[in-house]
Structure 1
Amino acid sequence: MTTTYLCPADGARSPVDTDAWCCPVCQGPWDLDFEAPPVPLASLPGRVPSLWRYEEALPLPAPPLTSLGEGRTPLVRLTPSVSAKLDFLMPTLSFKGRGAVLLAELALRLGPERVIADSSGNAGTAVAAYCARAGLPCTVYVPEATSPKKTEQIRAHGARLERVPGGREATALAARAAAGTPGTFYASHVHNPYFLHGTKTYVYELWEDLGGHLPEAIAVPVGNGTLLLGAALAIAELYGHGLIADRPALIAVQAEAVSPLATAFRAGADELVAAADPAPTLAEGIAIPNPPRARQILRAVRESGGTFLTVTEDQLRAAQLDLAARGLFVESTGVACWAAVGGWSDRSVVVPLCGAGAKTGLADSGSLT
């Protein structure tokens, strides 16, 4: 069967070599009509030590031309119930490399004149790195307040940096305006579903590391929801192929300062509802007031039997210091799940440590202005 883009809202379809980065009918993000065959657990030990070892589950054929050896990050037990997956050890220092490598691989095969991306930092650094690997010109749009250490990384990879006045939504609008330029590939980690099929390898790795099982719960930080939706994809595939007996609950974590999805979930709504104006937060990577895939995120959490949790700025600071005292220096967004579920003892749960502390430095009481 031919792989195509599919709009989850109205059923519109488009070939994957289209210039249309969103559904032309409703302007919503694409899903991918792709049926992944089962991944044989017994065959994995002899395979390449990267996320491409799960080649059956990926919508692009191997071997990849842009790989940096991403994936296969360690799983470390922190308490008897809580383990952490160290995705800040990815080549680009965040989990976003899982999806960015698929976007760069797709772009390389399509041969655009330029690639653009928008990001609060980590997705942009990952796209910039993989475009450098692929030899593709890249421009990354970021909010004006993005961490200088992240913008330095983007520039180091040779990408052009566009700072946008305002926040994350203004940045996305600026990138989308540029996305219509002929010859442009919009490497949107929100709208392009190839990114989600990269992030789903996070759960495939858990499944392999735990001997064909998954924990009772998987906690993920949620802004645009790319890791959560990737996790939901992997769980559906593994369960559908009979490779796991039970589906874990998805625990979605947001900063209390910017928590539109948690507000909608608690209201029993299927869409975003009117919420308090977003406030500054140390968790800049999940400070998304209007995520385009909100409906999908809310549905995925509910169908898993999971929930939303929120964390305060003080909890983020304390969690970052606590992990550092355990030998793990993680950026302030990446500690959100540990802040939320680190004290759990009633069921097994895995948290991602999503980004390296070197990307933002240590949070302190003067970090918010």
Structure 2
Amino acid sequence: MTHALPGYVCAQDGTSADVRTAPWCCPLCGGPWDLDFAPDPANAPTPAAGPNSLWRYASALPLPGAFSVSLAEGNTPLVPLAERVHAKLDFLMPTLSFKDRGAVMLAELARRLGPERVVADSSGNAGTAFAAYCARAGLTCEVFVPEGTSEKKTGQMRAHGAAVRVVPGGREAAAAAARTAADLPGVFYASHVFNPYFLHGTKTYVYEIWEAMGGHLPEVLVVPVGNGTLLLGAALAAAELARHGVRPPALVAVQAEAVAPLAAAFAAGAEHAEPVPQVPTLAEGIAIPAPPRARQILAAVRASGGTFLTVPDDRLRAAQLDLARRGLFVEPTAAACWAAVGPAAPGDPLRGRTAVLPLCGAGAKSGLAA
């Protein structure tokens, strides 16, 4: 039986395209795609009946029919960090980061489309996730990374069989190189930014919280934001669950103080973010100077009644060590949310509300911040 794949649609100009023949971005404006998909509200998820992976939420996912790509990703623990604050341990995913949630969706999509090769760009975690899931799916994978990417991460990519292309310059240079390759025939661009199937994978993060909390969500979801893939997935899930009577949370977005174009735009009341310089920061995973989905991220945070917070490197370093002393060793980027709302945060950013934050990447990938 052949199942139709939901098509792409551009939020900016309404352009639509078939997933099987579409370019990797909107041909009119060059922006990222959204997906022409919404779960059937009459078909509420019944996760307890599903497999022990994020595919347990298949009724809410845009890949119909039987899936074959999985490493039992998802279903990560929710543990208390402080009174009214829980952490979701997504660093316990198969490749040690939350990026597995979207990577498994794109690998399954690519398997169905049958490209000659898959290309991706990454500062580390997304690349390792794509390498692993392409290996699982039997797909040829090529990952473009900026110079200075952790050798532990590039080594993991190579171990999975991916070809690693080190690009001089920063994160944007690696993305530009991957997009040039993506324009060639027979190539599937596994972009965690431009391809909306990735966002429908990350939304399972919130579905799991909903399941673990007995059918409701916390008052606040604190989310690290660079390209915004976890936040936008969270917003998707919150909207979908709201149709079943679940009260949506406020979204509190956290950026590195050194590279914070979205926080600056939010503070200025702007609908879009102006690019900022690429400067070094411990939170390299969220140091994105010009996020392509900036407009959507800002709108989602505002619609939720949330806000943006920024954290300097010294608080990131302290938060990473504090989490390690609590038994949770994560990479510096993954400590950003705890730096923003934990005991060392100035003021009372949560105002006593219940909250969940993600610990997105394992410390074994990059070590303790120097």
Q: Please give the range of the TM-score, normalised by the shorter of the 2 chains.
A: over 0.9
Residue 40 of structure 1: how far off its partner (Å): 3.6
CA distance in 1, matches of 2:351, 2:271: 31
Aligned to 1:350: 356
* Preserved contact between residue 80 and residue 345 of structure 1 (Cα < 8 Å): no
CA distance in 2, matches of 1:172, 1:278: 14
Structure 1 segment 299-318 matched on structure 2, within 5 A: 299-318=299-318
In structure 1, the gaps of 5 or more residues are 365-369
Letter in 2 for 1:85: K
Aligned to 1:257: 258
Q: Does 2:174 match 1:171?
A: yes
CA distance in 1, matches of 2:245, 2:323: 33
* Preserved contact between residue 5 and residue 64 of structure 2 (Cα < 8 Å): no
Residue 15 of structure 1: how far off its partner (Å): 0.7
In structure 2, the gaps of 5 or more residues are 344-349
Structure 1 segment 5-24 matched on structure 2, within 5 A: 5-24=8-27
Cα deviation, 1:90-140, whole Å, max 9, x if unaligned, reads: 001000000000000000000000000001100010000000001111000
Residue 46 of structure 1: how far off its partner (Å): 3.2
* Preserved contact between residue 256 and residue 310 of structure 2 (Cα < 8 Å): yes
The runs of at least 4 aligned residues of structure 1 exceeding 3 Å deviation read 38-41
Residue 251 of structure 1: how far off its partner (Å): 0.5
Letter in 1 for 2:329: F
Q: Does 2:285 match 1:285?
A: yes
Residue 163 of structure 1: how far off its partner (Å): 0.3
What's the TM-score, normalizing by structure 1? 0.95
Aligned to 1:332: 332
Cα deviation, 1:178-231, whole Å, max 9, x if unaligned, reads: 101100000000000000000000000000011110000001100000000000
Aligned to 2:271: 270
Letter in 1 for 2:300: A
SS in 1 for 2:291: coil
CA distance in 1, matches of 2:114, 2:128: 21
Cα deviation, 1:50-105, whole Å, max 9, x if unaligned, reads: 11001111001243211000000000001112100000000010000000000000
What's the TM-score, normalizing by structure 2? 0.95
Residue 18 of structure 1: how far off its partner (Å): 2.0
Residue 272 of structure 1: how far off its partner (Å): 1.1
CA RMSD of aligned residues (A): 1.3
Q: Does 2:72 match 1:72?
A: no
CA distance in 2, matches of 1:120, 1:278: 13
SS in 2 for 1:98: helix
Residue 2 of structure 1: how far off its partner (Å): 6.5
Cα deviation, 1:253-274, whole Å, max 9, x if unaligned, reads: 0000110100111010001136
CA distance in 1, matches of 2:283, 2:274: 21
SS in 2 for 1:333: helix
CA distance in 2, matches of 1:28, 1:230: 18
Aligned to 2:147: 144
Aligned to 1:247: 248
Residue 3 of structure 1: how far off its partner (Å): 1.8
SS in 2 for 1:288: coil
Cα deviation, 1:282-341, whole Å, max 9, x if unaligned, reads: 111001000000000000000000000000100010001000000010001111001101
Aligned to 1:321: 321
* Preserved contact between residue 48 and residue 56 of structure 2 (Cα < 8 Å): no
Aligned to 1:26: 29
Structure 1 segment 10-159 matched on structure 2, within 5 A: 10-38=13-41, 40=44, 43-159=46-162
Letter in 1 for 2:98: F
* Preserved contact between residue 81 and residue 345 of structure 1 (Cα < 8 Å): no
Letter in 2 for 1:260: P
CA distance in 2, matches of 1:61, 1:51: 14
Residue 35 of structure 1: how far off its partner (Å): 1.6
Letter in 2 for 1:288: I
Letter in 2 for 1:103: L
Residue 49 of structure 1: how far off its partner (Å): 1.1
Letter in 2 for 1:252: A
